[in-house]
Structure 1
Amino acid sequence: MSLIENEGLGSVLKTEVPKVGLRHPFVMHSILAISALHLSRHCSEPRRQVYIDIGVRYHSNALTLFIPLLSDVTLENCDGLFACSFLVSSFSFALQCLDTQAPSILMSKVIEVFKLVRGTASIAASARPWIEQGDMRPILKLTQCAQRTALSRHVHEVHGRLEAIINHQADEHCPAQLSASTRAVVVRSTGHLLEIFDFSIASDNQAAILAWPAIIDAEYFQLLRQIEPMSLVTLAHYGAILHIMTSTWWMAGWGKFLVNVAAAYLNETVRSEITWPLGIVNDTSDT
């Protein structure tokens, strides 16, 4: 099983994380959870569902032990908490048996996963000096993950698309009923997406795009809960960028999932603003 296609980081995940798991049961539960989910990708029914159920059970066990410790990060447990937060986030991305559920449930799942990404970043920030001294330090680096070369022709379009979206969202007449505070949150969130996309391209570090949920305003999540249309337009563009730039198995389909969730809530007028993301995730010409 490979969670990251970068050889150096992959080695840490395969050798050092299991060692941490021997010291911290919640990490071992997370390792078993993501492993079971990976096995499910290579099975047909009914065995596939058996592995999914096993993975969910181990995931639940991990969270039971993991969550109470988040308020007490120490030198002794920081490596375990950081490794587990990464595994928990990966599991949540991978668990995509979601498309048969109601849209309201789907949005809650999106917000839940985004908050897990923020949690990983929070642990890294609070315990960074300790983590940098230990074996988990390579995970601190937003290392490269394989780019979807078949869709790389779309990458050059992204900067211009995001700039256009920001200009449109910043226009106080589009839509006129949007409050100034809501508009500011949406514009900042889209601006952060543009900044982290530009950074990922400039540094040849495609994995950086995964950090967007960790750097946006917390208020943006409330807008998603309220199904605010402009926030959904930004979400759809993030989904399209993920689709273009990520190819790890646990992210497979997640970009398309985000675009489809956004599209499910938008009326025809606003839906026209996500024509490009919809085209990206449904493009089969290069596959």
Structure 2
Amino acid sequence: MQRRSHKKSRGGCLECKRRHVKCDGGRPICLLCKIAERECSYSSSILGRQTLPTPGASPQSRSTSPSVGIMERNPPVITEATNTDCGLTASIYSPVNLTHTALIVHLLTTKELFTLGDSVPDHAGGITYGLEIGLSHPYLLHALLAFSARHLAHVHHEPSIFPSTDGAASEASGIYTQQAIALQTRAIALFKEACHGSVPVPLNQSNCVPILLFSSVLGHHHLADTLAKRPAGGLEPFLSHYTHCIEMHRGIYTIARTAWPMLLQNERLEPVLTASAGLTSREPRGSECETLKMLFSSEQDVCGHNQEYTDEAERQACLTAIRYLQVGFDAILAANTADGQAATEQSRYHMVFSWTMLVPAQFTRLLAAKRPETLVVLGYYAILLHYARGLWQVKDAGTYIFGIIEEYLGPAWSQWLAYPRAMIRGI
């Protein structure tokens, strides 16, 4: 039998070849570049080798006509030049990158992408504004395209009414997932280069809008990824992913608070930010969390153990998290908003996304330590997720999260999970 040819290390990524080290060829970023936190050429070149189906094509059309929906074989990577005149002459005759164009069209025409975001009446106008800013801030453009690819991965992962085409759809979903990873990796690398290079750039009037938009898009992407995780091992590995997601979202909140006066000067963002602040600053009205609050009463004896908190700041942090949960329940259960207008889907489910930004750091630390009381709080958050199960980012995450919490806490905490159990399982 003829021996298979051996690929030598000179076929590795550009960075490893430049440093004359053996590359493992890992995609979308090789191991050495990942460890050293260097930019890997694979994270961008992977885009040029993938063949993607057209987002609008059905699985049936893809399976019956191999030529339908096939993108160009070697699309050029997105230019990183911030000056639109730079390299114009050299690129004017380059072929159109249909892969990225398809992602842009999907962004502009698919309203459900940001259903967990703030209410923006003009979806296409809002996305267009983000893309315009992205032309001069490539990290934002890459983040938007990554999220578009992430949604397409979801679309093609859904079961088809034509079972015979599910294999092709699954393959397309995998390709879009890899593209989303590659684009997101590149977006983060570009952001670090632009804002945290040799001379860190402070938050200012010129960069606060693209940085906030980038952080928000990245946050939506990360939450969708986190809620889709079903790691082996149950609660502990999932909680590790989820608390990391909370910490990322807290960074978004910190950026918004720091740049708030500057952001309000932007006429496109001011109405959205003001409406968002109005939703999160509402006083809780309902009683869904009254039993939950008893867990954090200094007079309550839970499961035979005195739960009096020696650290009042921790107790208040947990009560703050509960307060925002109740605001979320109020928004979901109310037929109308305060001004009498029908609640939009975005305002109804606003707290599903915002809760991860607003919970205090002390609460996150207690959650990471798997304090039983905070896990019960997370069980109530699972109710919010269950209400939002029709959204593509959420699906059955509420049922899953409640299940692993209930299994971990066991019978001793069953009474405190009675309300979430009834709401999620109908028991």
Aligned match of 2:127: 14
Aligned match of 1:65: 190
SS at match of 2:393: helix
Aligned match of 1:151: none
SS at match of 1:227: coil
1:137 and 2:280 are equivalent in the alignment:
no
Q: Which amino acid aligns with 1:101?
A: A
1:119 and 2:248 are equivalent in the alignment:
no
Aligned match of 1:154: none
After TM superposition, give the deviation of residue 12 of structure 1 in Å: 4.1
Q: Which amino acid aligns with 1:281?
A: I
Given that residues 150 and 176 in structure 2 are in contact (C-alpha distance below 8 angstroms), is that contact kept between their aligned partners in structure 1? yes
Relative to its length, the structure with more helix (as a share) is: 1
d(CA) in 2 for partners of 1:97, 1:193: 21
User: Deviation per CA, 1:251-286, whole angstroms, max 9, x where unpaired?
Assistant: 334433442343342122114422332343345x9x
The 1:63–1:282 alpha-carbon spacing in structure 2 relative to 1, beyond 3 Å, is: farther
Aligned match of 2:114: 4
d(CA) in 1 for partners of 2:188, 2:135: 17
How many residues get paired?
272
d(CA) in 2 for partners of 1:72, 1:257: 41
TM-score, normalised via structure 1 length:
0.81
After TM superposition, give the deviation of residue 40 of structure 1 in Å: 0.9
d(CA) in 2 for partners of 1:66, 1:258: 32
Aligned match of 2:212: 82
TM-score, normalised via structure 2 length:
0.57
SS at match of 1:87: helix
SS at match of 2:124: helix
Q: Which amino acid aligns with 2:114?
A: I
Q: Which amino acid aligns with 1:174?
A: V
After TM superposition, give the deviation of residue 76 of structure 1 in Å: 1.3
After TM superposition, give the deviation of residue 190 of structure 1 in Å: 1.7
Q: Which amino acid aligns with 2:348?
A: Q
> Which fold has the larger relative contact order, with Cα–Cα distance below 8 Å and residues 6 or more apart in sequence?
1
The 1:41–1:89 alpha-carbon spacing in structure 2 relative to 1, beyond 3 Å, is: same
The 1:139–1:108 alpha-carbon spacing in structure 2 relative to 1, beyond 3 Å, is: farther
d(CA) in 1 for partners of 2:370, 2:361: 15
After TM superposition, give the deviation of residue 168 of structure 1 in Å: 3.6
Larger Rg: 2
User: Deviation per CA, 1:202-249, whole angstroms, max 9, x where unpaired?
Assistant: 544324423223332211111111100000100110121232257542
Quick one: percent identity of the two aligned structures?
19
Structure 2 unmatched runs, 5+: 1-109, 157-168, 280-284
Aligned match of 2:231: 100
Given that residues 118 and 214 in structure 1 are in contact (C-alpha distance below 8 angstroms), is that contact kept between their aligned partners in structure 2? yes
Given that residues 231 and 238 in structure 2 are in contact (C-alpha distance below 8 angstroms), is that contact kept between their aligned partners in structure 1? no
SS at match of 1:8: coil
Aligned match of 2:377: 234
d(CA) in 1 for partners of 2:402, 2:329: 17
User: What are the within-5 Å matches in structure 2 for residues 176-195 of structure 1?
Assistant: 176-180=305-309, 181=311, 182-195=314-327
Q: Which amino acid aligns with 1:35?
A: S
d(CA) in 2 for partners of 1:172, 1:143: 34
- Aligned Cα RMSD in Å? 3.0
Aligned match of 2:5: none
Given that residues 240 and 277 in structure 1 are in contact (C-alpha distance below 8 angstroms), is that contact kept between their aligned partners in structure 2? yes
